Amino acid sequence: MAEDIKKIMFTVRKPPHGTIYVYEGLEVKLIMAAYDADISVVFMDDGVFAVKKGQDTKDLGIKGFAATYGALVDYEITQVYVDRQSMEDRGMTEDDLLVIGEDEDTEEPIKPQVLESAEIAAMMAEQHNILAF
């Protein structure tokens, strides 16, 4: 029943690669996506670097997660948001964001949606649970 579906938000505030938080957070998202939950993901503060396109971790000797982020829509995680101020404070624009999948019908690439802090705050207030990474 729709009213029983939990609204779960993931906030990603740590930068990628320096620590394992972003990797672990992604794992948890994919696991949660297997359940009947209303999942949203918000990248804020240094977390916006996790959705910067062109990340190449080959020389670090680690697999990286850009490919997995590119498939979020395939995992039915479509509510993916970026805090505009965090992005702009770090010299990034919408053009810098990676693609998280493509539209089933039009095959148009789908990118995270950039929102104002107040819009994100309103969404946070509607959640049953918020998991921070």
Partner 1 sequence: MLHTVNKSPFQNTTLESCIRFARSGDVILLIEDGVLAAQAGNVKKNLLEEALQKCEVFALGADLKARALTDLVPGVKITDYSGFVDLVEQHTTHSWL
Residue placing its CB nearer to partner 1 in the complex, 6 or 63: 6
Is residue 128 within the footprint of partner 1 (CB under 8 A)? yes
CA distance 85 to 79: 19
Residue placing its CB nearer to partner 1 in the complex, 63 or 128: 128
Q: Parallel, antiparallel, or unpaired for β 37-43 and 79-83?
A: parallel
8 A C-beta contact, residue 48 and residue 92: yes
Judged by CB under 8 A, the chain residues 61 through 120 that form the site for partner 1 are: 85-86, 117, 120
8 A C-beta contact, residue 43 and residue 86: yes
Coil/strand/helix, residue 41: strand
CA distance 89 to 109: 25
Stretch binding partner 1 (CB under 8 A), from 24-32, 60-68, 74-82, 121-129: 121-129
Q: Please pick, from the candidates 45, 74, 96, 102, the single residue that binds partner 1 as defined by CB under 8 A.
A: 45
Residues in the site for partner 1, rule: CB under 8 A? Answer: 11, 13, 44-45, 85-86, 117, 120-122, 124-125, 127-130, 132
